[in-house]
Each structure stands twice: as C-alpha cells, then as structure tokens.
A = this chain, B = another copy of it.
Amino acid sequence: MSVYISRMSSKRRRVLMTPDARRQQLIAAATWVFARKGYRQAGISDIIARAGVARGTFYLYFTSKQEIFVAIVNDIHGRITRALAGVDSAAALAGHATDPQAILRASARRWLAFFAEHRDAATVILKEASSIDPRFEKGFTELRQSAAAFFAARFKRLQELGMARSSMQPELFAHLQLGMFDELLNRFVLRDPHADLDALAAALADFEWNGIRAH
C-alpha cells in the first residue's frame, strides 16, 4: 500500500540550484532536523525530506552526516564571532559606558536576542554540546572557549576600572555566566517564542551586579 502511495507522490520535479544555494538550503534543513531529533536520532532521510531533495544530492554537498554537522557548528561559530564583535561596541555606543549594570543588561539582551533569532542552531548547540562524540568535541570546545574568553575579558575590564570586585576570578565568573545563559535559553527563550527578553536580561544583570543580599 505504502508502495503505491510513495509511487504516486514521488517522481520529484528536478529543481536546479547553484551549489551555494543548495548547500545553504541543506544546512538549514539539517539544522532544523538536528534541533528536533538530535544528531544521532536524525537520519539523512529526515534531512533530505525536509530539503526536498534526493538522497544522492545530499552527498553531492557533504561527504557524510558528520560533515554537515560540523558545517552547522562552524556556521554558527562564524555568526557568533561576528555578533561578538558588535555586542560590546554596540553596548558602549548606547551610551551606558558608565553604568556597568546597564552594560551587563544590554549585553545579555543582545545575546538572548541573538539565540532567539537562531533558535534551531542554538538548540543544536545546547543539545549536542554535551554529546560525548569525540569527533565534535573540538568544535564545541572552541565555541564555548570563545564565549568564556569574551566574558572573562569583559569582566577583567570592569575590575580594572574598579567597578567589579577584584576577589572574583574572571574565568570562574565567565563560566557561571555561561551556565546561567544556558539555563535561561533552555528554560525560557528556546521553548517560548514570546519570552520577554528584556525582563530576563534585566533580572540577570540585576542578579549578577547585586547578588541576592538585601543591602
């Protein structure tokens, strides 16, 4: 029965695209699939079904499932790196240079927005980052390292300006911040398209700046 159904629905119309466009299309499809099924659970079948191409087409652009995954991670890494460059200068330009908490808030807001915009890619990263597959270890480590280094550097600047306590280790703080981001993304942002990013960013910055003590 399913044989007949597939026979009827198949006979795909051949659609030609430039290699670059097809590649991007496949990366998009794979991101979508990986975000929903996870790397191992997802099959090439899912990806090509989503992209609407034949099996062989996939292997015209990527030599393996692994390769497209790396391509996705690199793609995101690139976007993040580019975004990173803009975050601080943008925050500074916003004229809050003298208000650290405002800087923290603006920065957090931008990060949350960035991942909200790249929901699927962010999901892939968060879901698979802890996967044990050693073939991907490198990509994820670099990604996380980049972020941690960025946060640590910014914190150090605050310390040098005498604004942040010098008793706090920058690297440790960077990781705590990463952990909080992960959780906020996982819990609130990625699950809810209408999450109030402003409120989350404000609360986070407030906590980071003041702690929980009632002064």
A212–B164 touching, CB < 8 Å: yes
CB nearest neighbor in B for A67: B1
Which residues of B are found within 8 Å of A203, using beta-carbon distances? Answer: 168-169, 172
Number of copies: 4
Which residues of B are found within 8 Å of A173, using beta-carbon distances? Answer: 207, 212
A212 and B165 contact, Cβ closer than 8 Å, known pairs A176-B204, A187-B175? yes
Flag the segment in A34-42, A46-54, A74-82 that touches B: A34-42
CB nearest neighbor in B for A127: B130
Which residues of B are found within 8 Å of A167, using beta-carbon distances? Answer: 206
Number of interface residues of A (CB under 8 A): 54
Flag the segment in A9-17, A83-91, A109-117, A177-185 that touches B: A177-185
B214–A166 touching, CB < 8 Å: yes
Could you list some 17 contacts between A and B, CB below 8 A?
Answer: A3-B19, A4-B19, A37-B132, A38-B131, A41-B133, A126-B130, A127-B132, A164-B214, A165-B214, A168-B203, A176-B184, A178-B183, A179-B181, A182-B183, A209-B211, A210-B213, A211-B213
